Chain A
Amino acid sequence: MAMIELQHLSKTFGSGESAVHALEDVTLSIEEGEIFGVIGLSGAGKSTLVRCINLLERPTSGTVLVNGQDMTRLSGRALREARRNIGMIFQGFDLLMQRDALANVRFPLELAGVKRGEADARARELIKTVGLEGREHAYPAQLSGGQKQRVAIARALATNPKVLLCDEATSALDPTTTESILELLKQINRTLGVTVVVITHEMRVVERICSRVAIIAESHIAELGEVQEVFLHPKTEAAKKLVLPSRSGKLEGFAEDAAATAVDECRGELIRLAFDGSSTDRPIIADMILSCGAPVSIIYADTRTIEGRLYGHTVLQLPADAATAEKMKRWLENEGISYTKEVQ
Protein backbone atom coordinates (compact mmCIF):
# COMPACT_ATOMS: atom_id res chain seq x y z
CA MET A 1 0.00 0.00 0.00
CA ALA A 2 1.24 3.45 -0.80
CA MET A 3 2.00 5.50 2.31
CA ILE A 4 2.65 8.72 0.44
CA GLU A 5 1.15 9.57 -2.90
CA LEU A 6 1.91 12.77 -4.74
CA GLN A 7 -0.33 13.40 -7.72
CA HIS A 8 0.44 16.07 -10.31
CA LEU A 9 2.08 18.17 -7.66
CA SER A 10 3.16 21.66 -8.67
CA LYS A 11 4.56 24.48 -6.61
CA THR A 12 5.19 27.96 -7.92
CA PHE A 13 6.76 30.72 -5.85
CA GLY A 14 5.82 34.27 -6.75
CA SER A 15 3.82 35.12 -9.82
CA GLY A 16 4.05 36.67 -13.25
CA GLU A 17 7.50 37.41 -14.63
CA SER A 18 9.36 36.55 -11.43
CA ALA A 19 7.53 33.25 -10.83
CA VAL A 20 9.75 30.32 -9.90
CA HIS A 21 8.40 26.88 -10.69
CA ALA A 22 9.97 24.77 -7.95
CA LEU A 23 7.95 21.68 -8.82
CA GLU A 24 6.08 20.88 -12.01
CA ASP A 25 3.61 18.02 -12.28
CA VAL A 26 5.36 15.62 -9.94
CA THR A 27 3.70 12.25 -9.48
CA LEU A 28 5.27 9.84 -7.06
CA SER A 29 4.26 6.95 -4.86
CA ILE A 30 6.14 5.86 -1.75
CA GLU A 31 5.31 2.46 -0.29
CA GLU A 32 4.64 1.77 3.36
CA GLY A 33 7.79 0.72 5.24
CA GLU A 34 10.31 1.57 2.53
CA ILE A 35 13.24 3.96 2.68
CA PHE A 36 12.81 6.21 -0.29
CA GLY A 37 15.49 8.57 -1.52
CA VAL A 38 14.97 11.86 -3.31
CA ILE A 39 18.19 13.10 -4.78
CA GLY A 40 19.04 16.16 -6.80
CA LEU A 41 21.48 19.01 -7.06
CA SER A 42 20.76 22.11 -4.99
CA GLY A 43 17.90 24.15 -6.38
CA ALA A 44 16.38 21.15 -8.13
CA GLY A 45 13.23 21.32 -6.01
CA LYS A 46 13.79 18.35 -3.70
CA SER A 47 13.43 20.40 -0.52
CA THR A 48 10.18 21.90 -1.78
CA LEU A 49 8.99 18.39 -2.59
CA VAL A 50 9.52 17.09 0.95
CA ARG A 51 8.04 20.24 2.49
CA CYS A 52 4.91 19.72 0.41
CA ILE A 53 4.42 16.32 2.03
CA ASN A 54 3.67 17.80 5.47
CA LEU A 55 2.36 20.99 3.91
CA LEU A 56 5.05 23.25 5.37
CA GLU A 57 4.76 24.42 1.81
CA ARG A 58 1.26 24.44 0.34
CA PRO A 59 1.33 23.03 -3.20
CA THR A 60 0.02 25.32 -5.93
CA SER A 61 -1.84 22.38 -7.44
CA GLY A 62 -2.05 18.62 -7.15
CA THR A 63 -2.80 16.35 -4.22
CA VAL A 64 -0.70 14.94 -1.40
CA LEU A 65 -2.03 11.73 0.11
CA VAL A 66 -0.38 10.56 3.31
CA ASN A 67 -1.74 7.30 4.66
CA GLY A 68 -4.81 7.81 2.49
CA GLN A 69 -5.54 11.30 3.79
CA ASP A 70 -5.48 14.26 1.41
CA MET A 71 -3.22 16.75 3.19
CA THR A 72 -4.05 19.61 0.82
CA ARG A 73 -7.67 19.61 2.00
CA LEU A 74 -6.66 20.11 5.62
CA SER A 75 -6.09 23.32 7.50
CA GLY A 76 -5.97 24.58 11.06
CA ARG A 77 -6.39 21.99 13.77
CA ALA A 78 -6.92 19.07 11.38
CA LEU A 79 -3.66 19.85 9.58
CA ARG A 80 -1.76 20.16 12.86
CA GLU A 81 -3.10 16.80 13.97
CA ALA A 82 -2.20 15.18 10.64
CA ARG A 83 1.33 16.57 10.96
CA ARG A 84 1.81 14.58 14.15
CA ASN A 85 1.78 11.48 11.96
CA ILE A 86 4.72 12.83 9.98
CA GLY A 87 8.02 13.30 11.77
CA MET A 88 10.67 15.50 10.22
CA ILE A 89 14.38 16.08 10.77
CA PHE A 90 16.49 18.84 9.27
CA GLN A 91 20.00 19.66 8.13
CA GLY A 92 20.43 22.22 10.93
CA PHE A 93 18.88 19.89 13.58
CA ASP A 94 16.63 22.79 14.67
CA LEU A 95 16.50 21.89 18.34
CA LEU A 96 15.20 24.29 20.96
CA MET A 97 18.44 25.69 22.35
CA GLN A 98 16.96 26.61 25.73
CA ARG A 99 15.64 23.11 26.43
CA ASP A 100 17.69 20.06 27.37
CA ALA A 101 17.62 16.88 25.30
CA LEU A 102 14.77 15.33 27.27
CA ALA A 103 12.64 18.48 27.08
CA ASN A 104 13.28 18.70 23.34
CA VAL A 105 12.04 15.14 22.83
CA ARG A 106 9.07 15.87 25.09
CA PHE A 107 8.22 19.01 23.11
CA PRO A 108 5.93 17.49 20.42
CA LEU A 109 4.10 15.59 23.17
CA GLU A 110 3.55 18.85 25.06
CA LEU A 111 2.17 20.34 21.86
CA ALA A 112 -0.20 17.40 21.58
CA GLY A 113 -1.37 17.90 25.16
CA VAL A 114 0.07 14.65 26.55
CA LYS A 115 0.34 14.60 30.37
CA ARG A 116 3.75 15.54 31.75
CA GLY A 117 4.56 12.22 33.43
CA GLU A 118 3.54 10.18 30.42
CA ALA A 119 5.44 12.50 28.06
CA ASP A 120 8.55 12.26 30.23
CA ALA A 121 8.47 8.47 30.24
CA ARG A 122 8.05 8.34 26.47
CA ALA A 123 10.88 10.85 25.97
CA ARG A 124 13.24 8.82 28.18
CA GLU A 125 12.44 5.69 26.23
CA LEU A 126 13.17 7.46 22.93
CA ILE A 127 16.43 8.93 24.22
CA LYS A 128 17.44 5.34 24.92
CA THR A 129 16.35 4.23 21.43
CA VAL A 130 18.66 6.76 19.78
CA GLY A 131 21.55 5.80 22.05
CA LEU A 132 21.80 8.92 24.18
CA GLU A 133 21.10 7.39 27.57
CA GLY A 134 22.74 9.51 30.27
CA ARG A 135 22.64 12.68 28.17
CA GLU A 136 18.99 13.50 28.96
CA HIS A 137 19.87 16.75 30.67
CA ALA A 138 22.47 17.98 28.23
CA TYR A 139 21.58 21.13 26.31
CA PRO A 140 22.01 21.16 22.52
CA ALA A 141 25.04 23.46 22.88
CA GLN A 142 26.76 20.68 24.83
CA LEU A 143 26.12 18.00 22.21
CA SER A 144 28.00 17.13 19.02
CA GLY A 145 26.34 17.37 15.60
CA GLY A 146 25.62 13.65 15.51
CA GLN A 147 24.17 13.70 19.02
CA LYS A 148 21.99 16.70 18.14
CA GLN A 149 20.61 14.84 15.14
CA ARG A 150 19.90 11.87 17.39
CA VAL A 151 17.90 14.12 19.70
CA ALA A 152 16.08 15.48 16.64
CA ILE A 153 15.29 11.93 15.49
CA ALA A 154 13.97 11.01 18.93
CA ARG A 155 11.87 14.19 18.90
CA ALA A 156 10.50 13.39 15.44
CA LEU A 157 9.49 9.92 16.62
CA ALA A 158 7.83 11.06 19.86
CA THR A 159 4.29 11.14 18.47
CA ASN A 160 4.65 7.69 16.86
CA PRO A 161 4.58 8.94 13.27
CA LYS A 162 4.04 6.66 10.32
CA VAL A 163 6.41 8.70 8.17
CA LEU A 164 9.81 10.24 8.85
CA LEU A 165 10.96 12.98 6.49
CA CYS A 166 14.71 13.66 6.45
CA ASP A 167 15.63 16.94 4.78
CA GLU A 168 19.40 16.82 4.15
CA ALA A 169 19.65 15.31 7.62
CA THR A 170 23.29 14.26 7.26
CA SER A 171 24.59 17.10 5.11
CA ALA A 172 26.09 18.95 8.07
CA LEU A 173 27.80 15.85 9.47
CA ASP A 174 31.18 14.26 8.84
CA PRO A 175 31.31 10.90 6.99
CA THR A 176 31.65 8.73 10.11
CA THR A 177 28.78 10.46 11.89
CA THR A 178 26.71 10.34 8.70
CA GLU A 179 27.26 6.60 8.63
CA SER A 180 26.04 6.17 12.22
CA ILE A 181 22.97 8.37 11.68
CA LEU A 182 22.07 6.44 8.51
CA GLU A 183 22.46 3.20 10.45
CA LEU A 184 20.10 4.57 13.10
CA LEU A 185 17.52 5.54 10.45
CA LYS A 186 17.74 2.08 8.97
CA GLN A 187 17.29 0.50 12.37
CA ILE A 188 14.25 2.70 13.09
CA ASN A 189 12.78 1.77 9.73
CA ARG A 190 13.28 -1.92 10.49
CA THR A 191 12.11 -2.01 14.08
CA LEU A 192 9.28 0.54 14.00
CA GLY A 193 8.21 0.08 10.39
CA VAL A 194 8.32 3.85 9.84
CA THR A 195 8.33 4.89 6.18
CA VAL A 196 11.42 7.04 5.66
CA VAL A 197 11.85 9.69 2.97
CA VAL A 198 15.44 10.84 2.58
CA ILE A 199 16.21 14.08 0.77
CA THR A 200 19.86 14.46 -0.12
CA HIS A 201 22.32 15.66 -2.70
CA GLU A 202 24.74 12.87 -1.85
CA MET A 203 24.59 9.62 -3.81
CA ARG A 204 26.34 7.73 -1.00
CA VAL A 205 23.43 8.43 1.37
CA VAL A 206 20.98 6.93 -1.10
CA GLU A 207 23.24 3.95 -1.78
CA ARG A 208 23.65 3.29 1.89
CA ILE A 209 20.02 3.02 3.01
CA CYS A 210 17.46 3.55 0.25
CA SER A 211 15.67 0.85 -1.67
CA ARG A 212 14.22 3.19 -4.29
CA VAL A 213 15.24 6.60 -5.45
CA ALA A 214 13.78 9.49 -7.42
CA ILE A 215 16.13 11.86 -9.16
CA ILE A 216 14.86 15.41 -9.27
CA ALA A 217 16.21 17.81 -11.83
CA GLU A 218 14.80 21.13 -12.91
CA SER A 219 11.55 20.73 -10.96
CA HIS A 220 10.73 17.35 -12.53
CA ILE A 221 11.35 13.74 -11.65
CA ALA A 222 14.05 12.78 -14.11
CA GLU A 223 14.33 9.16 -13.12
CA LEU A 224 12.74 6.81 -10.61
CA GLY A 225 13.49 3.23 -9.73
CA GLU A 226 15.42 0.71 -7.67
CA VAL A 227 18.69 2.19 -6.45
CA GLN A 228 20.80 -0.51 -8.19
CA GLU A 229 19.03 0.04 -11.47
CA VAL A 230 19.40 3.81 -11.41
CA PHE A 231 23.00 3.56 -10.32
CA LEU A 232 24.03 0.99 -12.89
CA HIS A 233 22.09 2.26 -15.86
CA PRO A 234 21.44 5.95 -15.45
CA LYS A 235 19.40 7.04 -18.44
CA THR A 236 19.09 10.78 -18.15
CA GLU A 237 21.81 13.43 -18.08
CA ALA A 238 20.69 14.49 -14.59
CA ALA A 239 21.06 10.95 -13.28
CA LYS A 240 24.44 10.51 -14.93
CA LYS A 241 25.69 13.71 -13.37
CA LEU A 242 24.81 12.45 -9.89
CA VAL A 243 25.77 8.81 -10.32
CA LEU A 244 28.92 9.26 -12.36
CA PRO A 245 30.47 12.32 -10.81
CA SER A 246 33.54 12.21 -13.04
CA ARG A 247 31.49 12.23 -16.16
CA SER A 248 30.37 15.59 -17.41
CA GLY A 249 30.14 15.02 -21.13
CA LYS A 250 33.69 13.78 -21.14
CA LEU A 251 36.06 12.58 -18.48
CA GLU A 252 37.30 15.37 -16.31
CA GLY A 253 41.03 15.88 -16.31
CA PHE A 254 41.45 13.56 -19.24
CA ALA A 255 43.01 15.28 -22.20
CA GLU A 256 44.96 14.09 -25.22
CA ASP A 257 48.32 14.67 -23.55
CA ALA A 258 47.22 12.72 -20.49
CA ALA A 259 46.87 9.74 -22.80
CA ALA A 260 50.33 10.34 -24.15
CA THR A 261 51.77 9.13 -20.89
CA ALA A 262 50.11 5.78 -21.46
CA VAL A 263 51.78 3.08 -23.51
CA ASP A 264 51.71 3.99 -27.18
CA GLU A 265 49.57 1.10 -28.29
CA CYS A 266 46.79 2.03 -25.80
CA ARG A 267 45.43 5.07 -27.55
CA GLY A 268 42.21 3.73 -28.92
CA GLU A 269 38.60 4.26 -27.97
CA LEU A 270 37.24 4.55 -24.45
CA ILE A 271 34.68 2.11 -23.11
CA ARG A 272 32.86 2.07 -19.79
CA LEU A 273 32.22 -1.18 -17.95
CA ALA A 274 29.49 -1.36 -15.36
CA PHE A 275 29.84 -4.08 -12.72
CA ASP A 276 26.56 -5.19 -11.28
CA GLY A 277 27.64 -6.91 -8.12
CA SER A 278 27.75 -10.45 -9.52
CA SER A 279 31.12 -10.44 -11.21
CA THR A 280 33.39 -8.18 -9.21
CA ASP A 281 35.10 -11.06 -7.47
CA ARG A 282 36.51 -12.09 -10.86
CA PRO A 283 39.55 -10.22 -12.19
CA ILE A 284 37.81 -9.34 -15.46
CA ILE A 285 40.22 -6.75 -16.79
CA ALA A 286 43.24 -8.93 -16.05
CA ASP A 287 41.50 -11.89 -17.70
CA MET A 288 40.72 -9.81 -20.77
CA ILE A 289 44.32 -8.60 -21.08
CA LEU A 290 45.66 -12.11 -20.71
CA SER A 291 43.32 -13.70 -23.20
CA CYS A 292 43.65 -10.90 -25.78
CA GLY A 293 47.40 -10.45 -25.31
CA ALA A 294 47.34 -6.64 -25.30
CA PRO A 295 47.36 -4.01 -22.51
CA VAL A 296 44.66 -1.45 -21.77
CA SER A 297 44.73 1.73 -19.70
CA ILE A 298 42.36 2.22 -16.79
CA ILE A 299 41.28 5.83 -17.10
CA TYR A 300 38.75 5.90 -14.30
CA ALA A 301 37.42 3.43 -11.78
CA ASP A 302 34.91 3.70 -8.98
CA THR A 303 33.16 1.14 -6.84
CA ARG A 304 30.29 1.49 -4.40
CA THR A 305 28.50 -0.86 -2.08
CA ILE A 306 24.74 -0.92 -2.37
CA GLU A 307 22.89 -3.12 0.09
CA GLY A 308 25.99 -5.19 0.67
CA ARG A 309 26.81 -5.81 -3.00
CA LEU A 310 29.65 -4.21 -4.86
CA TYR A 311 28.91 -2.10 -7.90
CA GLY A 312 31.40 -0.30 -10.04
CA HIS A 313 32.18 1.72 -13.10
CA THR A 314 35.49 1.44 -14.93
CA VAL A 315 36.54 3.39 -17.98
CA LEU A 316 39.13 1.64 -20.14
CA GLN A 317 41.12 2.89 -23.05
CA LEU A 318 41.47 0.12 -25.60
CA PRO A 319 44.53 -0.38 -27.83
CA ALA A 320 44.82 1.84 -30.91
CA ASP A 321 44.97 -1.24 -33.10
CA ALA A 322 41.37 -1.73 -34.28
CA ALA A 323 41.64 -5.52 -34.61
CA THR A 324 42.79 -5.96 -31.00
CA ALA A 325 40.14 -3.51 -29.77
CA GLU A 326 37.46 -5.50 -31.63
CA LYS A 327 38.79 -8.72 -30.15
CA MET A 328 38.50 -7.27 -26.64
CA LYS A 329 34.96 -6.08 -27.19
CA ARG A 330 33.95 -9.49 -28.52
CA TRP A 331 35.61 -11.09 -25.49
CA LEU A 332 33.57 -8.87 -23.15
CA GLU A 333 30.38 -9.68 -25.03
CA ASN A 334 31.08 -13.39 -24.78
CA GLU A 335 31.66 -13.05 -21.04
CA GLY A 336 28.32 -11.27 -20.75
CA ILE A 337 29.81 -8.04 -19.49
CA SER A 338 27.99 -4.98 -20.69
CA TYR A 339 29.93 -1.93 -21.77
CA THR A 340 29.13 1.39 -23.35
CA LYS A 341 31.18 3.57 -25.64
CA GLU A 342 32.44 6.55 -23.68
CA VAL A 343 32.15 9.90 -25.41
CA GLN A 344 35.52 11.58 -25.53
Chain B
Amino acid sequence: MSLSQILALVPEALWESIYVAVISTAMAYVIGLPLGLVLVVTAKDGVRPMRAVNLVLGGIVNFLRSVPFLILFFFITPFTRLVVGTSVGSPATIVPLVISAFPFVARMVEQSVKEVDRGVIEASQSMGASNWQIITKVLLPEAKPSLINGAALSATTILGYGAMAGIAGGGGLGAVAINYGYYRQNYLIMFVMIVVLVLLVQVFQEFGTRGSRLSDRRIR
Protein backbone atom coordinates (compact mmCIF):
# COMPACT_ATOMS: atom_id res chain seq x y z
CA MET B 1 0.00 0.00 0.00
CA SER B 2 1.43 3.34 -1.01
CA LEU B 3 1.36 6.38 1.22
CA SER B 4 -1.23 8.07 -1.01
CA GLN B 5 -3.48 5.03 -0.70
CA ILE B 6 -3.07 5.15 3.05
CA LEU B 7 -3.84 8.86 3.15
CA ALA B 8 -6.95 8.19 1.09
CA LEU B 9 -8.22 6.12 4.03
CA VAL B 10 -7.86 9.04 6.41
CA PRO B 11 -10.84 11.33 5.58
CA GLU B 12 -13.57 8.75 6.16
CA ALA B 13 -11.91 7.31 9.26
CA LEU B 14 -11.29 10.81 10.62
CA TRP B 15 -14.90 11.79 10.04
CA GLU B 16 -16.16 8.65 11.77
CA SER B 17 -13.89 9.21 14.76
CA ILE B 18 -14.97 12.83 15.08
CA TYR B 19 -18.69 12.19 14.84
CA VAL B 20 -18.56 9.25 17.25
CA ALA B 21 -16.56 11.32 19.75
CA VAL B 22 -18.71 14.43 19.42
CA ILE B 23 -22.05 12.61 19.60
CA SER B 24 -20.87 10.42 22.49
CA THR B 25 -19.53 13.43 24.39
CA ALA B 26 -22.77 15.32 23.86
CA MET B 27 -24.85 12.38 25.04
CA ALA B 28 -22.53 11.72 27.97
CA TYR B 29 -23.12 15.33 29.02
CA VAL B 30 -26.87 14.98 28.65
CA ILE B 31 -26.66 12.40 31.44
CA GLY B 32 -23.44 13.45 33.19
CA LEU B 33 -24.10 17.17 33.60
CA PRO B 34 -27.37 16.83 35.57
CA LEU B 35 -25.90 13.89 37.46
CA GLY B 36 -22.80 15.90 38.44
CA LEU B 37 -25.01 18.78 39.56
CA VAL B 38 -27.19 16.45 41.62
CA LEU B 39 -24.04 15.05 43.25
CA VAL B 40 -22.95 18.57 44.28
CA VAL B 41 -26.38 19.77 45.33
CA THR B 42 -27.21 16.69 47.44
CA ALA B 43 -23.78 16.47 49.08
CA LYS B 44 -23.49 17.05 52.81
CA ASP B 45 -22.39 20.65 52.28
CA GLY B 46 -24.62 21.17 49.22
CA VAL B 47 -27.62 23.48 49.00
CA ARG B 48 -30.05 20.56 49.37
CA PRO B 49 -28.32 17.74 51.26
CA MET B 50 -29.87 14.34 50.56
CA ARG B 51 -27.68 11.63 51.96
CA ALA B 52 -29.41 8.60 50.43
CA VAL B 53 -29.62 10.03 46.91
CA ASN B 54 -26.02 11.14 47.05
CA LEU B 55 -24.79 7.76 48.25
CA VAL B 56 -26.72 5.77 45.65
CA LEU B 57 -25.75 7.99 42.70
CA GLY B 58 -22.14 8.23 43.89
CA GLY B 59 -22.10 4.44 44.15
CA ILE B 60 -23.39 3.94 40.61
CA VAL B 61 -20.81 6.41 39.28
CA ASN B 62 -17.98 4.69 41.12
CA PHE B 63 -19.14 1.26 39.98
CA LEU B 64 -19.34 2.23 36.29
CA ARG B 65 -16.04 4.05 36.47
CA SER B 66 -14.25 0.98 37.76
CA VAL B 67 -15.28 -1.21 34.79
CA PRO B 68 -12.58 -0.96 32.08
CA PHE B 69 -13.98 0.38 28.82
CA LEU B 70 -13.31 -2.69 26.61
CA ILE B 71 -14.83 -5.06 29.17
CA LEU B 72 -17.91 -2.86 29.40
CA PHE B 73 -18.02 -2.72 25.62
CA PHE B 74 -18.33 -6.50 25.35
CA PHE B 75 -20.43 -6.86 28.46
CA ILE B 76 -23.24 -4.62 27.24
CA THR B 77 -23.34 -6.00 23.67
CA PRO B 78 -26.91 -7.30 24.12
CA PHE B 79 -28.02 -3.87 25.30
CA THR B 80 -26.25 -2.17 22.40
CA ARG B 81 -27.95 -4.51 19.95
CA LEU B 82 -31.27 -3.69 21.56
CA VAL B 83 -30.71 0.05 21.18
CA VAL B 84 -29.16 0.39 17.71
CA GLY B 85 -30.00 -3.02 16.23
CA THR B 86 -26.37 -4.04 15.72
CA SER B 87 -23.25 -4.38 17.81
CA VAL B 88 -20.70 -3.44 15.14
CA GLY B 89 -19.89 -0.22 13.34
CA SER B 90 -19.66 3.38 14.50
CA PRO B 91 -23.24 3.92 15.73
CA ALA B 92 -22.91 0.80 17.88
CA THR B 93 -19.76 2.23 19.50
CA ILE B 94 -21.68 5.24 20.73
CA VAL B 95 -23.73 3.23 23.24
CA PRO B 96 -20.84 1.78 25.29
CA LEU B 97 -18.93 5.05 24.94
CA VAL B 98 -21.78 7.02 26.49
CA ILE B 99 -22.29 4.50 29.28
CA SER B 100 -18.60 4.46 29.99
CA ALA B 101 -18.14 8.23 29.75
CA PHE B 102 -21.13 9.70 31.58
CA PRO B 103 -19.89 8.72 35.07
CA PHE B 104 -16.55 10.29 34.20
CA VAL B 105 -18.34 13.40 32.95
CA ALA B 106 -20.43 13.51 36.14
CA ARG B 107 -17.26 13.56 38.25
CA MET B 108 -15.70 16.24 36.04
CA VAL B 109 -18.82 18.40 36.37
CA GLU B 110 -18.90 17.75 40.11
CA GLN B 111 -15.29 18.92 40.47
CA SER B 112 -15.89 22.08 38.41
CA VAL B 113 -19.07 23.06 40.20
CA LYS B 114 -17.54 22.39 43.62
CA GLU B 115 -14.96 25.08 42.86
CA VAL B 116 -17.67 27.74 43.05
CA ASP B 117 -17.05 29.74 46.21
CA ARG B 118 -19.30 28.75 49.09
CA GLY B 119 -19.63 32.42 50.02
CA VAL B 120 -21.16 33.31 46.66
CA ILE B 121 -23.78 30.60 47.10
CA GLU B 122 -24.56 31.86 50.57
CA ALA B 123 -24.77 35.44 49.33
CA SER B 124 -27.28 34.30 46.72
CA GLN B 125 -29.32 32.57 49.41
CA SER B 126 -29.29 35.76 51.44
CA MET B 127 -30.78 37.50 48.39
CA GLY B 128 -33.62 35.01 48.27
CA ALA B 129 -32.38 32.67 45.53
CA SER B 130 -34.14 29.31 45.25
CA ASN B 131 -32.07 26.15 44.80
CA TRP B 132 -33.01 26.04 41.13
CA GLN B 133 -31.89 29.65 40.70
CA ILE B 134 -28.65 28.84 42.48
CA ILE B 135 -28.01 26.02 40.00
CA THR B 136 -28.92 27.95 36.86
CA LYS B 137 -27.78 31.44 37.78
CA VAL B 138 -24.84 30.80 40.10
CA LEU B 139 -23.32 27.33 39.89
CA LEU B 140 -23.40 26.82 36.13
CA PRO B 141 -22.39 30.35 35.00
CA GLU B 142 -19.69 30.66 37.66
CA ALA B 143 -18.25 27.23 36.82
CA LYS B 144 -18.45 27.77 33.06
CA PRO B 145 -14.72 28.18 32.30
CA SER B 146 -13.91 25.10 34.32
CA LEU B 147 -16.79 23.17 32.72
CA ILE B 148 -15.50 24.01 29.23
CA ASN B 149 -12.03 22.78 30.19
CA GLY B 150 -13.59 19.60 31.52
CA ALA B 151 -15.59 19.10 28.34
CA ALA B 152 -12.41 19.27 26.27
CA LEU B 153 -10.76 16.71 28.53
CA SER B 154 -13.84 14.48 28.35
CA ALA B 155 -13.98 14.75 24.56
CA THR B 156 -10.31 13.77 24.15
CA THR B 157 -10.75 10.85 26.53
CA ILE B 158 -13.85 9.70 24.64
CA LEU B 159 -11.94 10.05 21.36
CA GLY B 160 -9.31 7.70 22.75
CA TYR B 161 -11.92 5.18 23.92
CA GLY B 162 -13.55 5.40 20.50
CA ALA B 163 -10.26 4.47 18.86
CA MET B 164 -9.98 1.54 21.26
CA ALA B 165 -13.37 0.33 20.09
CA GLY B 166 -11.73 -0.26 16.69
CA ILE B 167 -10.50 -3.56 18.03
CA ALA B 168 -14.05 -4.76 18.53
CA GLY B 169 -15.78 -3.76 15.35
CA GLY B 170 -16.02 -0.03 15.81
CA GLY B 171 -15.14 2.36 13.01
CA GLY B 172 -12.84 5.33 12.64
CA LEU B 173 -9.13 5.93 12.99
CA GLY B 174 -8.68 3.20 15.60
CA ALA B 175 -10.33 0.58 13.38
CA VAL B 176 -8.07 1.45 10.44
CA ALA B 177 -5.00 1.36 12.66
CA ILE B 178 -5.93 -2.10 13.93
CA ASN B 179 -7.38 -3.71 10.80
CA TYR B 180 -4.87 -2.41 8.28
CA GLY B 181 -1.99 -1.63 10.57
CA TYR B 182 -1.92 -4.33 13.23
CA TYR B 183 -3.55 -7.34 11.56
CA ARG B 184 -1.75 -6.75 8.24
CA GLN B 185 1.41 -5.66 9.97
CA ASN B 186 1.58 -2.35 8.13
CA TYR B 187 3.27 -0.12 10.65
CA LEU B 188 3.15 2.90 8.36
CA ILE B 189 -0.65 2.84 8.49
CA MET B 190 -0.60 2.58 12.27
CA PHE B 191 1.84 5.45 12.45
CA VAL B 192 -0.25 7.68 10.16
CA MET B 193 -3.40 6.98 12.19
CA ILE B 194 -1.60 7.74 15.42
CA VAL B 195 -0.39 11.06 14.02
CA VAL B 196 -3.92 11.96 12.92
CA LEU B 197 -5.29 11.01 16.36
CA VAL B 198 -2.65 13.09 18.11
CA LEU B 199 -3.47 16.09 15.92
CA LEU B 200 -7.17 15.62 16.60
CA VAL B 201 -6.59 15.55 20.35
CA GLN B 202 -4.55 18.73 20.03
CA VAL B 203 -7.39 20.43 18.17
CA PHE B 204 -10.00 19.35 20.77
CA GLN B 205 -7.77 20.46 23.61
CA GLU B 206 -6.99 23.80 21.99
CA PHE B 207 -10.69 24.47 21.46
CA GLY B 208 -11.33 23.75 25.12
CA THR B 209 -8.47 25.82 26.47
CA ARG B 210 -9.33 28.81 24.31
CA GLY B 211 -13.03 28.55 24.99
CA SER B 212 -12.38 28.36 28.69
CA ARG B 213 -10.02 31.33 28.66
CA LEU B 214 -12.28 33.48 26.52
CA SER B 215 -15.27 32.83 28.75
CA ASP B 216 -13.43 33.46 32.01
CA ARG B 217 -13.91 36.95 33.44
CA ARG B 218 -11.61 36.40 36.38
CA ILE B 219 -8.41 36.96 34.44
CA ARG B 220 -7.45 40.13 32.49
User: Which of chain B's residues have a CB closer than 8 A to the CB of A81?
Assistant: 128
B220 touches which one: A86, A110, A141 (CB < 8 A)? Answer: A141
With beta carbons under 8 angstroms apart, the residue of A98, A111, A152 that contacts B142 is: A98
Q: In angstroms, how far is the closest chain B Cβ from the Cβ of A163?
A: 11
* A339 interface contact, C-beta 8 A: no
* Chain B residues in 8 Å Cβ range of A141: 217-220
A35 to B217, CA, bound (A): 35
For chain A residues 92-133, which have a beta carbon within 8 Å of chain B? 92, 94-100, 107-108, 110-112
Please measure, in the bound complex, the distance between the C-alpha atom of A1 and the C-alpha atom of B14, giving whole angstroms: 75
Question: What is the distance, in angstroms, from A88's C-beta to the closest C-beta of chain B?
Answer: 4
Interface of B: prevailing SS: helix
Asked whether any CB of chain A lies closer than 8 Å to the CB of B138, the reply is yes
Q: Is the CB of B120 within 8 A of A94?
A: yes
Q: B150 to chain A: closest CB distance in Å? A: 16
Asked if A250 CB lies within 8 Å of chain B CBs, one says no
B144 adjacent to chain A (CB < 8 Å): yes
Nearest B residue to A100 by beta-carbon distance? B217
State the CA gap A156–B128 with chains docked (Å): 11
A96 and B128 contacting across the interface, CB-CB below 8 Å: no
Q: With a CB–CB cut-off of 8 A, which chain B residues contact A156? A: 127
Is A83 an interface position by the 8 A CB rule?
yes
In Å, the complex CA distance between A90 and B126 comes to 11
Given A97-B218, A98-B144, verify A83-B133 contact (CB < 8 Å): no
**B58 part of interface (Cβ distance < 8 Å):** no
Q: Is the CB of A94 within 8 A of B123?
A: yes
Question: Which of B120, B126, B130, B215 interacts with A96 by CB under 8 Å?
Answer: B120
Instruction: Please indicate the chain B residues that have their CB under 8 angstroms from the CB of A152 in the complex.
Output: 123
A residues at B contact (CB < 8 Å)? 54, 56, 77, 80-84, 86-88, 90, 92, 94-100, 107-108, 110-112, 139-142, 152, 155-156, 159, 165
Question: Could you name 30 residue pairs across A and B whose Cβ atoms are closer than 8 Å?
Answer: A56-B122, A56-B126, A77-B130, A83-B127, A88-B123, A90-B119, A90-B123, A92-B119, A94-B122, A95-B120, A96-B120, A96-B138, A96-B142, A97-B120, A97-B217, A97-B218, A98-B141, A98-B216, A100-B217, A107-B124, A107-B137, A108-B127, A111-B124, A111-B128, A111-B130, A111-B137, A139-B217, A141-B218, A156-B127, A159-B127
Using A97-B218, A108-B128 as known contacts, list a sample of 10 further A-B pairs with CB atoms less than 8 Å apart, ordered by residue number in A.
A54-B126, A77-B130, A80-B128, A92-B117, A96-B142, A98-B142, A98-B216, A107-B124, A111-B127, A155-B127
List B residues at the A interface (Cβ < 8 Å). 117, 119-120, 122-130, 133, 137-138, 141-142, 144-145, 215-220
